[in-house]
Amino acid sequence: MKRISILFVCMGNICRSPLAEGVFSHLASEAGFSDRFLVDSAGTGSWHQGDEHDRRSIATARHHGIDISAQRARRIRRDDFADFDLIIAMDRNNVAALKALDPDAGNIHLFGDLALGSGEDIPDPYYGGADGFEAVYARLLAGCRKLLSTLGADSASRSGNTSSVR
């Protein structure tokens, strides 16, 4: 069975997208679906390439039992558009930046559309405090649960297993 590859994207790859990567990976692991997904994150900008993620993202993840401390920021690469099944941007500005890099890519989605069904942007918590990171975590958790439920059930049915994530 082919693994579904997902790339979460925000501006600098230090706040929202690494947290989304950690949340989705954690949920997939808890559901026994780790082998069904390849998950990564990237930024549309290069300011933080190679850096640790924002300490508040790391702390928020750790508070919820998720370790993202080994991840490092990276910028989106041209190959990512072909290598990932889903490229999921945290806000409309990042969707626009991704489409500017590859106008023909049909795998670019807004997190608020694909995962939440609300069309909302996930706000950048960088200039705020810990409460903003917790609010982002809550939206990412809700969306990643829905996304995993949908994708997990789809990949299970393709493999002949009809069970789904609850």
* Start-to-end Cα distance in the chain: 21
CA proximity to 72, closest of 133, 17, 14? 14
Alpha-carbon distance values, 50 to 4, 5, 16, 42, 74 (Å): 25, 22, 16, 11, 6
In DSSP terms, 4 is beta-bridged to 37
Q: One of 16, 36, 74, 139 is an active-site residue; which one?
A: 16
Q: One of 10, 40, 91, 144 is an active-site residue; which one?
A: 10
At residue 24, the 3 state secondary structure works out as helix
> DSSP strand E in the chain: where?
4-10, 37-43, 86-89, 108-110
Quick one: tokens of 26? 């954690």
Q: One of 121, 124, 139, 144 is an active-site residue; which one?
A: 124
Residue 10 annotated as catalytic: yes
Residue 124 annotated as catalytic: yes
Residue 16 annotated as catalytic: yes
| Residues labelled catalytic | 10, 16, 124
